[in-house]
Structure 1
Amino acid sequence: MDATATDSTLSPEPRLRIAGECPIRIWGLDAEARHRRLFSGWNGAGEILVAADWVFDAALAKGLMAEPRAALLIEPEPGAGEYLAAVHAADEADDAVAGMIGRPADKAALQATGYKPVSLDELTAVYDPVLRKRRTPFARSLHFTPVDQIERRLYDGAYKGVTDLVTKYAWPRPARWVTHWCANRKIAPNTVTTVGLVLTIAAFFLFWEGLYAAGLACAWGMTFLDTVDGKLARVTLTSSKWGDRFDHGIDLISPPFWYWAWWVGLQDAVADTTLMDWALGATLIGYVLGRAIEGLFKVIGRFHIHIWKRIDSWFRLITTRRNPNLIILTLCALALRPDIGLVIVGIWTAVSVAFHLARLLMALAVRAQGKTLTSWLADDQSA
């Protein structure tokens, strides 16, 4: 599950001064609401100045809050010149600096006030370990960039770089439409996650009764909403620890229960269940072992096993996780052989666990040589 979805209590309120006015909403938020959520982590003694018509990503806001008396200079488009988009003031900013916000930058005048001009690249890291990807810091003015382009850029920035093939290739466009619909109607990410939980439970009982077509419809609906809730939380800046636990808890618990229910649903349809029994055992044991391997790798490497080398990120597309396994089960159900589907999932689980176990042993060998494990995404040479 890719997400961090939920509503958050946005406190403390940042001391924020917004220059100008901008009635345009981005992902359902007006300028003041968006900037207050964006800079909600600010607890310094000074204040933050920001132009109403400028839109930033969360990483850029975080970088700005960490730099005392930093003034962000941005070129909104090639040849447009540099604009002063935001200022982190160590003390209450004077009106002279506030008057520069959102206008072509005068570096000499800015430096005379004691502020340090900084660029986008100076405020943010290239690699994002949470979203498992390399990214470019984002800031755009609504005077220079259409709303749909800004919303699309923020949405793309909220997507994980390393995930399964369904989430990466099938869901992005429809999920963006649904995310936009939810954002404009103030539907909370937790609400979306709760609907996903209902579908998860429904899929379990339908599989249990051998109603595979209806169960798969619910299961795929849940996986789709699993993509929506996380993106909705990120683009509306309403993520929280509780939402992350709620979201990932469903993701962690639901797959083995689905496989078990799938096996139960086959009991009256198949005369000899010996092969399916072995398949279910391999799937459940493999699921636990796979999670354990991922956890051990994270302990020794301080990052996820799927982003160690390029081959690990590629294998994440198809490894034995919920969505790839659902593809197998769906195809076999369409072929009227749900029993074969469970067998293939069991075999694929064993193969995937063997692959990740080999990768873990390789990582241990690297550590035994006194070397440090690093992700290929964090390596400047991998760009």
Structure 2
Amino acid sequence: MKLWIDAGRSSAERVFGMDLIERHLKAVRHQKIDLSEVIIDVGAGPVPDWVAEPRLACPVRVVTGEGTCGDRLRAALAANEPLLATDAASLADGRLYRYLADRSGSCAVRANKATIARIEPVDASRILVAPTLDAVTAPLTEIRQDDFPAFVAKLRRSLPFYLFSVTNAAERNSVERFLFWSNYKGSTDFFTKYVYPPLVWAMVPPLARARIHPNTVTIVSIILTVLAVPLFATGHFWWGFACAYGMSVLDSVDGKLARLTFTDSAIGNVLDHGLDIVHPPFWYFGWAIGLLGGWAAADLSQPLWQAAWVMLALYILDRLILAVYRAKFKRGLHTHAAMDAIVRTFISRRNINLPLFTVAYAVGWGLEAFYFIVLWQALTCLYHGGRTIWILATFHPAPAEPV
């Protein structure tokens, strides 16, 4: 399979720091599409002075040619392999590349004055001699939203495919806003969903334009996470809160930055998700030690210290319960039904417990808040356990399709 990009229709706009050709190439690489060649067709225009993305596993060839978009597209079609076609003024959902690559037969996706198509060699005669890719591919079967598998496991929700034309600053701003919000998870906590986004938005575009790798953001987040523990334990709560909230915001920034710039990596996922899972109990113990007045008072004769150990046990149990559902259904419990997504908004998690404890500490109720958080974790465990048992007990797999 080849990828053909009509650079005769191009745009000077850069979306999150990347021109649209670079976004096409990175999206293809991210989706692991097996390509024999990428053809960037500049038509009758001058050959650009940029160098194409170097880390593709196939040759990237820049060509010139006379004629309409249809003429040049026909010239690119080989006798024995299909071709993906798009243009350099469009921005496509990366999933569309994989979807079209896995299909058979010629077809096209059209939306917002943009087109991406799969063309089989046998259908070369159906390609029209027309000036735009949309008109060129008019005879091909059109892919609709209902045809497309929209669920995104990482985002815990369904996301319809998107395809945009980006030819001016207004369109670029609109697309960047759309992409930013489309990368939020469908089930998440109240603060991540409603409080932190303005701060995350203020950071992601400049970081993307500066080509800052998301792993760099994750490392800063790890440093803040670790620093918060001794600050809490030594009673420097406000400095600890500053580190903790900084980490909470950066925890959204690195994921958005990775997905919006196609720079997510295996090590980044391990660092980010590993940090999310491991660090909360350390913060809770830090709170307890700080409230007790230091390590000297941290022994099992103190009810607060006992509560901290109960919190650890409940936290581990809750994670194990959630793992049961994930092992069975290959997705998170909070994607099961709308009710579960709503519950995810306020259950006992770091981003709920941290503001609750902060406000209580500010008014002198830190001790009472800690006990309440332990109770809230117990109720969260109870809900997850009961819900998992109910789902497993009532789950009936769909009957297999007759052969």
Q: Check whether TM > 0.5.
A: yes
Instruction: Report whether the alignment pairs 1:353 with 2:342.
Output: no
1:317 equivalent to 2:345? Answer yes
Cα distance in structure 2, aligned partners of 1:143 and 1:334: 50
Distance between the aligned counterparts of 2:11 and 2:326, measured in 1? 44
Contact 1:71 1:88 in 2 (8 A): yes
Cα deviation 1:164-191 (Å, max 9, x = unaligned): 1111111222211210110111111111
Alignment partner of 1:194: what SS? helix
2:156 is the counterpart of 1:128: no
Task: State the match for 1:28 in structure 2.
Answer: 17
Match of 2:94 among 15, 40, 58: 58
Return the letter of the residue paired with 1:178: M
8 Å CA contact 1:71–1:84 kept in 2: the answer is: no
Alpha-carbon separation, structure 2, partners of 1:101 and 1:326:
57
SS at 1:130's partner residue? helix
Once structures 1 and 2 are overlaid, which stretch shifts more, 160-169 or 122-131?
Answer: 122-131
* C-alpha displacement of 1:271: 11
Write the letter of the residue equivalent to 2:368: I
Per-residue CA shift, 1:196-235, capped at 9, x if unaligned? 0110011111112111111011101101000011001111
Corresponding letter in the other structure for 2:96: L
Q: 2-side partners of 1:251 and 1:259: how far apart? A: 14
Q: Which residue of the partner structure matches residue 259 of structure 1?
A: 284
Q: Structure 1 120/181 Cα, relative in aligned 2: closer, same or farther at 3 Å?
A: farther
Q: Cα distance, 1:291 vs. partner?
A: 0.2
Higher relative contact order (CA 8 A, sep 6+): 1
Q: Judge conservation of contact 2:289–2:305 (CA < 8 Å) in 1.
A: no
Residue identity matched to 1:19? A
Seen in structure 2, the aligned counterparts of structure 1 residues 61 and 271 have a Cα distance that, compared at 3 Å, is closer
The yes-or-no answer on 1:244 pairing with 2:277 is no
Aligned partners of 1:232, 1:97: CA distance in 2, in Å? 38
Q: What secondary structure is seen at the aligned counterpart in 2 of 1:320?
A: coil
Aligned to 1:19: 7
TM-score by length of 2: 0.78
**Alpha carbons of 1:335 and 1:154: their partners in 2 closer, same or farther (altered >3 Å)?**
same
Provide the C-alpha distance between the structure 2 equivalents of 1:142 and 1:349, rounded to a whole number of angstroms. 47
Deviation for aligned residue 1:125:
1.7
Residues of 2 paired with 1:36 and 1:180: CA distance?
20
Report if aligned partners of 2:156, 2:185 keep a CA contact under 8 Å in 1: yes
- Which residue is equivalent to 1:74? 110
Residues 70 and 143 of structure 1, relative CA distance in 2, 3 Å threshold: farther
Q: Which residue of 2 aligns with 1:165?
A: 190
Pair 132,271 (structure 1): closer, same or farther in 2 beyond 3 Å: closer
AA at the equivalent of 1:254 = H
The 3-state SS of whatever aligns with 2:154 is coil
Instruction: Indicate the SS of the match to 1:342.
Output: helix
Deviations 1:270-295 (A, max 9, x none): 89973312321221111000000000
In 2, are the aligned partners of 1:207 and 1:261 still within 8 Å (CA)? Answer: yes
- Check the 8 A contact 1:60/1:123 in 2, yes or no: no
> What's the CA shift for 1:44?
4.0
Structure 2 SS opposite 1:39: helix
2:179 alignment counterpart: 154
Whole-Å separation in 2 of the counterparts to 1:48 and 1:161:
31
Q: Matched residues in 2 for 1:100 and 1:68: separation?
A: 24
Going from structure 1 to structure 2, the CA distance change for 1:22 and 1:94 (only over 3 Å counts) comes to: farther
Contact 2:228 2:239 in 1 (8 A): yes
Rate the CA distance shift 1:331–1:99 in 2: closer, same or farther, 3 A: farther
C-alpha distance in 2 between matches for 1:345 and 1:246: 26
Say yes or no: does 1:87 pair with 2:117.
Answer: yes
The AA in structure 2 aligned to 1:57 is D
Shift of 1:193: 0.7
Report the Cα distance in structure 2 between the residues aligned to 1:256 and 1:362, rounded to whole angstroms: 28
3-state SS in 2 of match to 1:329: helix
Give, in whole Å, the separation in 2 of the partners of 1:22 and 1:97: 24
CA distance in 2, matches of 1:246, 1:204: 18
1:42 equivalent to 2:28? Answer no
Q: CA deviation at 1:63?
A: 1.6
CA distance in 2, matches of 1:171, 1:158: 14
Q: Secondary structure at the match of 1:105?
A: helix
Does residue 301 (structure 1) correspond to residue 329 (structure 2)? The answer is yes
One-letter code aligned to 2:148: T
Cα distance, 1:137 vs. partner? 1.5
Amino acid at match of 1:17: I
Match among 275, 278, 281 for residue 306 of structure 2 = 278
The aligned counterpart of 1:338 is 366
Higher deviation after alignment, 255-264 or 301-310 = 301-310
Show the 5 A alignment for 1:105-116.
105-106=135-136, 111=139, 116=140
- Runs of at least 5 residues in structure 1 that lack an aligned partner in the other structure: 1-12, 77-82, 374-383
- In 2, Cα distance between equivalents of 1:261 and 1:193: 22
Match for 1:58: what amino acid? Answer: G
TM-score (norm 1): 0.82
Amino acid at match of 1:255: P
Q: 1:99 to 1:175 in 2, by over 3 A?
A: farther
Which amino acid letter does the alignment assign opposite residue 205 of structure 1? P
Counting aligned pairs with the same residue, the percent is: 27
Q: Deviations over 1:21-59 (max 9, x none)?
A: 222100110122111011112104454321111111222
